[in-house]
Amino acid sequence: MTDPTRDRPWLIRTYAGHSTASASNALYRSNLARGQTGLSVAFDLPTQTGYDSDHILSKGEVGKVGVPVCHLGDMRALFDDIPLEQMNTSMTINATAPWLLSLYIAVAEEQGADITKLQGTVQNDLIKEYLSRGTYICPPEPSLKMIGDVAEYCYTNVPKWNPMNVCSYHLQEAGATPQQELAFALATGIAVLDELKPRVAPEDFPALCGRISFFVNAGIRFVTEMCKMRAFVDLWDEILETRYGVENPKFRRFRYGVQVNSLGLTEQQPENNVYRILIEMLAVTLSKRARARAVQLPAWNEALGLPRPWDQQWSMRMQQILAYETDLLEYGDLFDGNPAVDVKVESLKAEARAELANIDSMGGAIGAIDYMKSRLVDSNAERLNRIENNETIVVGVNKWTEGEPSPLMGEDGGIMVVDPAVEQDQIDRLNAWRADRDETRVQAALDDLRAAAAEGRNVMPASIRAARAGVTTGEWAQQMRAVHGEYRGPTGVSRAVSNKTEGLDHIRQAVDAVSDRLGKRLRFLVGKPGLDGHSNGAEQIAFRARDCGMEIDYEGIRLTPEQIVEAARNGAHVVGLSILSGSHIPLVEDMMERMRTEGLDHVPVVVGGIIPDEDAKRLIAMGVAKVYTPKDFVLNTIMSDIVALVDSKAVAAA
């Protein structure tokens, strides 16, 4: 007999998708059979950024960090034999959220589903993409309008769907303090509600507020993180009541899902990540008043590469044991009335309110994008400095670094590797899809879509018609680019040297000496080839190189190897490439060939990213001078290496 006082378990998810739609479908059905209670779809970077699998920028990225979905056929294959009317599906998609939701609705219609019963979430948060993840397409204003289009359409047609997940997850990974995470996420929520309020009747607005959900991060300082979640609950309730006049407490409820911190996992002694994941999960489950309604956990080996199905199963079992074996769900909130918790929560709320007022004075989240980006870069630099200086202890990284080899690694290196042939297979299927469709119908759908965007109509109805007609992801996004233009987000790295320069004197002296030998200031080009938008590492390398006295050249994310080589021709003395998406082999291979062709093979190239040892050997064989992975966390050592590389070239030239 069910205990009526027992809280119901949260939705148990694993964030999954890779290689192809068919391979991902098999993984989903396997996970559901093992007790997963909701789907969380990871899309590959071309899909996230609005490119088809055969686009030049997609090279090396297809199927690496998620599943490629180019058209209705891919979406059909992705959910084959999975009844969408009975499923709760989270889709981590932002710039192309209107399109992927349109494909999802079209597949549900083909299955005979009642669309009004569909349940799930599209992340659909473009503001955090400008700040931290980098999968944006269009400028902020039209992007905010498209967020509103999805929310307005869902409210009327798919009422159980969460049309927007305000995502603070990547803000924390980009360096946000708890106070900044609270303020920046809530500012995004306010911007979206301000966009939505004129779109619906006043009596309907509170219910629309109730459909906005959040997706948060939980870091290792789990008491602070738990207090942060209680602060989120209070502040969202306060904003909806005082700013928007929402009277019904049901519509003011802070509804959130969570993934615990992935970038905080370590390559060194990766087995320790199991404990980190468990402790971080406690932050979002222990407090009933601030308990997540959906939880997805990374796997222990995500700092190494793509988790295997077994690794994902192990993380899912962690959730199931807490939810079903322990007595956690039988009790009320364990922290109500705790004076230490109350003081911390009130402190976080006060600091977040002050930051929100600051952002509001700049015109809200859209007007404050440059400010928020620069604050994140500064906060991340401070966090890394504390680790470098041993002020923050990370077990196995800067303390207790000696340990036994992990038996979990196995002969496969402890990760799953996507077959490079997957990319060509996906391109072949894409070409076959294009050949079989009705081009007249496709063109009519694209014309209607472009007109809807240009005229300011809601793009969802035209997008769904385009999905049915066979339009591809790249074609949909091209219409948005044609109407609204493309956008280059702020890097957050100014050229002015910061005042946080303790301990850099010896490196500055070395930079000055090498610059004297070169006859000009040592110039360091930092580039991010491909579609990887995780820019934190590149930003911190550029930030530190600048403070060490180097002239930096960093133009942000999403560049082709051709563009980076063109920039290198402008006098770069060393080129640093940052790639976290697993596409390092094909992109660096292309890059090195272009450097040779342009007569730049004398310029040292260094590469950083999540790079397995065997791949590092291949990169060195290609001519890469140095390879850095997350275990190389001491930035000053990297700076010294760069100076030495340039100095050896300068001495040889002399």
Any idea which residues carry the catalytic annotation? 15, 169-170, 528, 532, 534
Give the DSSP H/E element, type plus range, for residue 465: helix 459-469
Closest CA to 106 of 68, 85, 67, 75: 75
Strands 39-42 and 574-579, bridge-based pairing: unpaired
Residue 602 CB neighbours (<10 A): 10
Sign of CA dihedral 635, 390, 179, 41: positive
CA angle in degrees (0–180, nearest 5) for 433-435-437: 70
Q: Give the separation between CA 145 and CA 354, rounded to whole angstroms.
A: 27
Count of CA atoms in the C-beta half-sphere (13 A) of 126: 24
Block residue for tokens 């349940």: 119
Q: How would DSSP label each residue in 576-590? A: EEEE-SS-HHHHHHH
In DSSP terms, 576 is beta-bridged to 526, 606
Closest CA to 298 of 42, 610, 631, 579: 42
Q: Give the separation between CA 99 and CA 615, rounded to whole angstroms.
A: 35
In DSSP terms, 244 is beta-bridged to none
Closest CA to 549 of 514, 577, 575, 589: 514
- Hey, what are 123's tokens? 């992340």
Amino acid at 625: A
Q: Give the separation between CA 316 and CA 274, rounded to whole angstroms.
A: 12
Q: How would DSSP label each residue in 209-240? A: HTT-EEEEEE-S-HHHHHHHHHHHHHHHHHHH
Closest CA to 199 of 164, 143, 149, 140: 149
Residue 351 CB neighbours (<10 A): 17
Q: Give the separation between CA 631 and CA 610, rounded to whole angstroms.
A: 10
